[in-house]
Structure 1
Amino acid sequence: MGYLDGFLVTARQIGKTVTTPYPEQKAPKPERLHGRHVLNRYEDGMEKCIGCELCAGVCPARCIYVRGADNPPDDPISPGERYGFIYEINYLRCIHCDLCVEACPTEAITETKLFEFSFLNRNDAIYTKDELVVGDDGRPKQLPWEDWRDGEDLHTSAWMRATAPSGDADFEGRIAWSGELGYGTRPPEPPQQDADRPPPSGEGEGGNATADHGHGGH
């Protein structure tokens, strides 16, 4: 009888799909997934990068190389005094930590949901500014070795939208960034549900609530 029970369990699994048929189909990606970077532009077409090099300075993998230059007075590239003259990312070293996105003061660099890279040589892995800056429609430039699918250019600012100033929950749901070419002003992430919030200290499962005598108020 035991053998028959085992065959019955096996029969029940026949016909069920337990894996995603990649590459024909990709598994859904969360909004905050870190993928290939893009350099954004304002809605009027001007570049957001001001060549401040903060992203390169904060990068723990040292994969970003930036050099700024003064804006031409007769044909400025960015609204500031300077712009990103050279911008390179070496994806052989990038760990997609997103610290560059968090450090950028102008929201110039964000990450898409694309993470499939099929480089033919090492030079292809070093993305230049021409490859990183979005096109005239605001969409990322799709290179021959990249496998882009619908929706992978959306939510490129999700990490930035999720990190409120100083982690203050009062900033949840507020729009505090500029519009992007081709997308306008992106909507904020929805506020956390009460069920998703962790219980106050001492009130978790198996614990007892205790009074905090170390703080006089909120």
Structure 2
Amino acid sequence: MDNVITVRDLRVLDGRKTLVGPVTFELPGGSTTGLCGPSGAGKSTVLRALVDLLPHGLTRDGDVEVQGQAIRYGKGDSALRSTVVLVPQTPVVFGGSILDNALFGLRHLVRASRAEMRDRVEQALREAGLWNEVSGRLDSPAQALSNGQRQRLCLARALALEPAALLLDEPTSALDERSRDTVEESVAALRGNRTVLLVSHDPAQVQRLCDRTVSLEHPETLALSAAAA
């Protein structure tokens, strides 16, 4: 199985001070990998480092390859933004319709016909487990969706870009139990089809959803038990 992302000795620095790392891991194609560690270990920071969205003043070093190509950060590369996509902890829903929100990334990062974009959005909404709930009201305000639906809409917006890898940062931490279960079902359905790096504070959720883990305390890749795979 080819690796979609390869990370070697990645560190995040504040000046000369190392805040996170070094961490080394690989994301094989179609795998779901849990990024684990105690609160404050820098799990979300690693995700942001991978997509060049670190807070001002922080830098990174180490090597990152995406589909065998070394990433050169700081170039404003829109191709990276559509190849490795971060879905943040808090769902970001813009003003406008459900369809407008689902199309947002495509309109800004991909050149495609209107028909192709609409087809990709429908497929993404299906993959995120949201199509049956919104197909008859795509022109309705996205702000009217529940929190769980908003999180799945953000997932669909990312999937519409057909990324090489999805980075999910605590995708259910702000949800009630029922909404959490629905989002988990959508993430579980991606296994084997999408390459996912998942940050979660919940070890049981990692066990349910992930094939393998990377620990920031002991940053080597570990396979989970066969029962969890």
TM (normalized to structure 2)?
A: 0.24
Structure whose CA Rg is larger = 1
TM (normalized to structure 1)?
A: 0.24
More helix by share: 2
More strand by share: 2
